[in-house]
Structure 1
C-alpha cells in the first residue's frame, strides 16, 4: 500500500488520527518519538534533534552547515523508513522529501485558528492566551521551515491529495477515508517505479549530508543528482580545492558507483562593508 505523509496544523488533533490510522493499516508511525528512538543509529543525539527538527537551517557559518548536515541526517531516517514500506511519515516536510513518487498519499489536517486554540488549551490544560501564542509560533516555524528548506507553501492545497478540516468531520470518518485512499490501485501500481526513485533520493541525501559534515565545502551552491548509483554534481564552487574535495567526498559515500563532475570554479570574495 501507499506511503502516507501527514502535514498538520497544531491543535487539529492530527496526531491521534495518525495513531489510529497506523493501527488500522498496521503501519509504522514515524513521529518524533520514533525518530528519537532511531537517531542514535545515525549518530544523532536528542539534543541535536531538538535543535534541527522542523527548524529552518542556514548555511553561513561552519556551525550552520553542521546543523544543516544534522537535518539531512534526520531526513535520512525518514527516507530509510519509507524504503521499508508501510509507514506514516508525520510532519517534517516528508511530502516534499518524497517529491515525484507516485505511490505517496499526501494528507493535511487544518482547522480554524480559534478552534485549534480551544482544542490545544483543553488538551494541555493551559491558559487560552498561552495556547494562542504557542500555536502562532508553531504555524510560523513550520511554515517557515517548509518555505526555507523546500521553497514551498505548506498551505497550498495542490501539494496534497487529501485535505481535512477537522472541525467539519468526525475522526472516524477522516481515518476511514484515508484508509480507503491508501488502498487505491493507482498508488499500488506506482510502487515498482517508486522504489528505484526512492533509492536515488536516499543516495542524494547521503551525499548531501556528507558534504555538509565535511567542513571542506564553504557553501553548497550546486545541485546533486542521482541515478542508479551515479551522482552528478553541477553548479559552482569557490576554489579548485573545493571542487576536488566535493568529488572525493561524494565518491566515498556508500552506494555511489560514479561521480560526474560538472562543477565550475567561480572565485568569490564576500563584500565587506
Structure 2
C-alpha cells in the first residue's frame, strides 16, 4: 500500500513551515525538511553547509544578510569548488531521499520541487501557499530580525531564485497553479482557518473523514 505524501510549495514568508509542522503533528506524518539536506549530503559525499548554500531559497542576498555558508568557512571545509555537486546532482540526490522516505512513512515535504517529484504518486496532495508582499515582508522581517527594506529585497530575490530553480530542474513555472491541488492566499485568510481547512481536506481525502485517525 502506498504511503501518503503531502507537499507544500510556498512563497517565502507565507507560513509554509508552520503548516507542514501542523500537518505532521496532526496526522503523525514525518516532516521532511532539514533532514533531507543531511541525507542528500551523505549520498553526494559532500557537506551540509554547501547544500544549504545551494538550497532553492538561498541567494547571495541572504548570505550577505545572515553572514553564513560562505565558501572557505570551517563549516564548508577545504574542498575545492571542483568537488562540489551541481544543482542537477543535488536535485537528483534529494529526489532519491524523498522517495526513500515516502516508501517508509507518510510524509509532508516542504519545497525543493517535491510537488513535481511526487506528481504521479497515487496518494499525493499538493499545496501552494501565497500571500501579498506586505504580509510576507512583515513575517520575514520578524523571522530574520532584519529591517523592512532588507526584508523586501530578501523576499523578491528569494522568489526570483525559486522560480529559476524550479524552471531549471523541472521545466515548470512554479506559479502555474495547475501544479497544485490546493492554493491558498494567506494574506486574505487567517492562518488558523487555512490550516484547519487543509487538515480537513487531508482527513477527507485519505482517511474518509474519520477524525479519530
* TM-score using structure 1 length: 0.60
- What's the counterpart of residue 92 of structure 1? 112
Report what 1:218 is aligned to.
none
Match of 2:199 among 171, 175, 179: 179
After the TM superposition, which parts of structure 1 deviate over 4 Å for at least 4 consecutive aligned residues? Answer: 62-65
**Structure 2 match to 1:152:** 172
Instruction: Answer yes or no: is the 8 Å Cα contact 1:2–1:188 preserved in 2.
Output: no
Cα deviation for residue 21 of structure 1 reads: 1.6
Q: Which residue of 2 aligns with 1:36?
A: 37
CA apart distance, 1:73: 1.2
Match of 2:190 among 166, 170, 173: 170
- Asked whether 1:49 is paired with 2:51, we answer yes
Which has more radius of gyration? 1
Equivalenced residue count is 182
Question: Displacement of 1:40 after TM fit?
Answer: 5.1
CA distance in 1, matches of 2:175, 2:41: 33
What residue number does 1:224 align with?
none
Higher relative contact order (CA 8 A, sep 6+): 2
More strand by share: 1
Q: In 2, distance between residues paired with 1:40 and 1:145? A: 19
Q: What residue is the counterpart of 2:11 in the other structure?
A: 9
Contact 1:4-1:104 at 8 Å conserved across structures:
yes
Give RMSD over aligned pairs: 2.6
TM-score (norm 2): 0.76
Relative to structure 1, is the Cα distance of residues 69 and 123 closer, same or farther in structure 2, using a 3 angstrom cutoff? closer
- Aligned counterpart, 2:141: 121
2:38–2:48 CA contact under 8 A, matched in 1: no
**Mind listing any 5+ residue stretches in structure 1 that lack a counterpart?**
56-61, 190-273
Unpaired segments ≥5 residues, structure 2? 58-80, 209-213
Residue 128 of structure 1: how far off its partner (Å): 0.6
1:69-88 Cα offsets, whole Å, 9 max, x none, are 23311221112112223100
Q: 2:72 maps to which residue?
A: none
SS of equivalent to 2:56: coil
Q: 1:51 to 1:115 in 2, by over 3 A?
A: closer
Pairing partner for 2:21 from 19, 22, 43: 19
Give the C-alpha shift of residue 51 in structure 1: 4.2
Describe the SS at the equivalent of 1:89. strand
Q: Aligned pair 1:140/2:160, yes or no?
A: yes
